[in-house]
Structure 1
C-alpha cells in the first residue's frame, strides 16, 4: 500500500536537494575562478614544469592524481570536525571553509590539466556527460525557483542603490 510520502522523508529530501544545489552552485561559480587563481602559480617555472608533467600523464594515472587533493585534505577536514567537537565551532568552520576552497581550487586545476586524458576513459566520459546534464537541470531549476528569483530581484535593487565607483 503506497500513500503520500511521510513528511519527515519529504523534509529530508528537500534539505538534501538544497544542500546539493548549494554545493553545485559553489562548484559552478567557484570552479573556474579558483582554477585560474591557482593557475597563476604556473608563472613559476617549477610549477609550470609540474603542470606539463601532469598534463602528459596517462588516463589512469591522471585519474589517481585527481583524487590526491581529496585524500590529502581529509585529515584537515577531520581536524575541523574535531575543533567543532571541542566547542571551537568558529575555528572548525573556518578550517573547513579554507580546506573546501583550497581543495576545490586544486581539484579544478588538476581537472583542467587532466581532462583530455580522463575523457579517453570510456566510463569516465559517459559519467561526465551524465553529470553535466544533471547539473545543468539542477542549476536551471534552482535559477527558476521563486526563492532564487526573489533573491536576484533583491540583489538587483540593492546594487541599484549602491554608489557606483
Structure 2
C-alpha cells in the first residue's frame, strides 16, 4: 500500500505537471510557429548580396566570435524591452506591447538564423552541446506527453473534421460554378 503522504502529494504534483506542460507547449508552439517561418524569412532576405557576404563571414567565424554573435541579439534587444515596459508603465500599453512583440519577432528571426549559421561552431563548446542535447530531449519528452494528452487528441480530431468540412464546402463551390 502507498504511504498517505505520497497520495496527498499526487494531486498537487499532477496539477503542477499540467501547468508546466501547458507552459512548455506554449514555448514549443512559439518555437515551431515562430522560429521556422521567421528564420526562413531571414534566409530569403540573405540572398541579397551584402547580407550573403555577411552570412559567409559569420559561418567562418571562430567559435568564440560565433557565440558572441549568437548572443548579441538577446543582449541588444533587452534594453528595448525594458524601454517598452517603461512605456507600458507610463500608460501606453498598446505601444509597449507592440514594441515587445516586434522585438520578440525580430529577435527570434535573427537568433534563429544565427543559430543555423553558427551551430557547428557552437557545438565545439561542450556545455553548449550538452545544453542543446538536453533541450532537444526535453522538447521530445514534452511533445510526446502533449500528443498523449486528451486535449491534443481532441484538437487533432477537430482539425481533421475542419479540414474535411473545408474540402466538402470547397467541392460544393466548384460544382456551383
Taking structure 1 as the reference length, the TM-score comes to: 0.84
Counting matched residue pairs gives 165
What are the within-5 Å matches in structure 2 for residues 71-150 of structure 1? 71-150=75-154
What are the within-5 Å matches in structure 2 for residues 38-49 of structure 1? 38-49=42-53
Name whichever of 12-21 and 32-41 sits farther off: 12-21
Structure 2: distance between partners of 1:60 and 1:22:
31
* CA-based RMSD: 2.6
Aligned in 2, Cα 1:82/1:19: closer, same or farther, shift over 3 Å? farther
Residue of structure 1 in register with 2:161 after alignment: 157
CA deviation after TM superposition for structure 1 residue 16, in Å: 4.0
Aligned in 2, Cα 1:10/1:143: closer, same or farther, shift over 3 Å? closer
Structure 2: distance between partners of 1:31 and 1:104:
6
CA deviation after TM superposition for structure 1 residue 93, in Å: 2.6
Aligned in 2, Cα 1:158/1:112: closer, same or farther, shift over 3 Å? same
Aligned in 2, Cα 1:74/1:121: closer, same or farther, shift over 3 Å? same
Residue of structure 1 in register with 2:24 after alignment: 20
Structure 2: distance between partners of 1:55 and 1:5:
50
Name whichever of 98-107 and 151-160 sits farther off: 151-160
Structure 2 residue runs without a partner (length 5+): none
Structure 2: distance between partners of 1:156 and 1:88:
41
Structure 1 residue runs without a partner (length 5+): none
CA contact (8 A) 2:35 2:109 kept: yes
Alignment of 1:54 onto 2:58: yes
CA deviation after TM superposition for structure 1 residue 121, in Å: 1.6
